[in-house]
Amino acid sequence: MCSRSRWSRALVVTFTLALLTAPAPLRAAGFALFEHGGKGMGFAGAFTAQASDPSAIFHNPAGIAFLRGKQIYLGGTGVMPTWQFEGANPFPGTGVTESGATSVLLPPAVYYTQPFSPRVVFGVGLNVPFGLKTEWANPDRFSGRYISQKAALGGFGVNPTLAIKVADRLSVGAGLDLRFSTVTLERRIPVINPFTQKPVDAAHERLDAGTNLGIGFDVGMLAKLSDDLSVGASYRHRVKVDYKGTATFTPLPTGSDQLDERVQAVLPPQTLTLDSSITFPAFVSGGVAYRRGDWVFEADVNWYQWSAFKSIPVIFPDRPDLSGSITENYSDSFQYRFGAEKTLNDVWTVRGGYFWDETPAPPASVSPLLPDADRNGFCLGGTWRSGSWRIDAASWFVLSRARSTAGVSRDSFEGTYKSHAFTLGVFVGYVF
């Protein structure tokens, strides 16, 4: 049996390694949301070269310069993801299967636009450009519970915007991006039982970063080259959010009174102050839209600067010996979006589309916190109009490719993830 001092040192090392190799509260991946308006969703997000309703505040701020009258546009989207995991050797081993718990994201969006003059239009939008919620079934027995049992990235963006029509067919726009963000993570802390030499759950850890603010900007251009052809481009700058929060550790009974005493002796204070940060990536979009009779077609290419996300600091001011950083090494990624619509009559319009979304995460960073992978999206939508009112609705089915950790998991949790998601968005617009 180990001596008391040797045992205590071993427990300290175990807790230190657990804290520094965990995802902490702020491990980002491909969790950008693109469900910011019903019409844009119906085009599979290919909306940069049209930007023809107040959701242009997100897609391309220059678009609001062509909107007439005061307009309000609001709604929300239900995002329902599911995950499956199949383990691989050496841990958790072949034959291990896990399922994600049922969870729903409900990102809202509200936009308002108002002309100051025939050529100058002001707008403000509230939406959720990034979001994440992963939760696994049977969290107390989940084989990846030392990495994550439940994680959530929440918050919203406020986007005051000004657009100017510099010519009859050309506009530019710019806005301020006020990003409010909050993060939580729950997981278990393991310790090696010296009697059995097997890991046991020693504590429950909850990491909370309250609402914190980051500030960025966006710009855009929209040119209507003819009545049938338009091109657009937009850029949204990266936003860094500095988080201040807490880490709470709740001891759990291990089944051994002696081990419980040792854990209590080395477990960090029940609450530690936590400092960290995350840089949300810059985003560039370019698109072309073409109208032919009752049909409209658009194709967009989007680029996310995920390479700005290399590592995350994890700082405990009261316990600098536990502080460190987490290496992520993400790569820039592209999205390709295509959509089409047909106007049936003065009341009804139908549309549909497809998108391909590349993952920025290398295999080593794929984990229970976010099983990210390349995604295919299939989209349907439509519009009902009556006078000054309109209702846009759209749904997406997002199918991810199976993603293996390829034996290089940074968390030593090997296996293959499979996931899909269904979204349904409904938005209401009114022109004053």
Query: How far apart, in whole angstroms, are the C-alpha atoms of residue 327 and residue 46?
Result: 33
**Identity (one letter) of the amino acid at 310?**
K
Largest CA distance in the chain: 84
Confidence of residue 30 (pLDDT cuts 50, 70, 90): low
CA 96, chain centre distance (Å): 28
pLDDT value of residue 7: 38
pLDDT value of residue 103: 77
Average pLDDT for the chain: 89
Q: Is the pLDDT of residue 19 over 60?
A: no
Domain boundaries, given as residue ranges, for the chain: 4-431
pLDDT tens, position by position, 194-231: 888 888 999 999 989 888 999 999 999 999 999 999 99
In percent, how much of the chain has pLDDT > 90?
Answer: 68
Strand duo 333-343 + 415-431: pairing:
unpaired
Q: Is the pLDDT of residue 12 over 70?
A: no
pLDDT tens, position by position, 345-401: 999 999 999 999 999 999 998 989 888 899 999 999 999 999 999 999 999 999 999
**Residue bearing the bigger pLDDT, 426 or 29:** 426
Whole-model pTM over 0.85: yes
Burial of 257 (0-12, 13-18, 19+ CB in 10 A): exposed
Architecture of domain 4-431: Beta Barrel (2.40)
Q: Is the pLDDT of residue 126 over 50?
A: yes
Among 31-40, 97-106, 357-366, the range scoring the smallest mean pLDDT is: 97-106
pLDDT tens, position by position, 134-171: 889 999 999 999 999 998 888 899 999 999 999 999 99
**Identity (one letter) of the amino acid at 129?**
P
Query: Considering just the CA atoms, what is the radius of gyration of the chain in Å?
Result: 24
Three-state DSSP class for residue 355: strand
pLDDT value of residue 157: 96
pLDDT value of residue 4: 39
Confidence of residue 13 (pLDDT cuts 50, 70, 90): very low
Q: Is the pLDDT of residue 75 over 70?
A: yes
pLDDT value of residue 10: 39
How many Cα neighbours within 13 Å face the side chain of 281?
Answer: 23
pLDDT value of residue 14: 41
pLDDT value of residue 293: 96
Q: Would you give the DSSP letter of residue 412?
A: S
pLDDT value of residue 124: 98
pLDDT value of residue 140: 93
Query: How far apart, in whole angstroms, are the C-alpha atoms of residue 136 and residue 142?
Result: 7
pLDDT tens, position by position, 240-283: 999 999 999 899 998 888 888 888 888 887 789 999 888 899 99
Confidence of residue 285 (pLDDT cuts 50, 70, 90): very high
Confidence of residue 16 (pLDDT cuts 50, 70, 90): very low
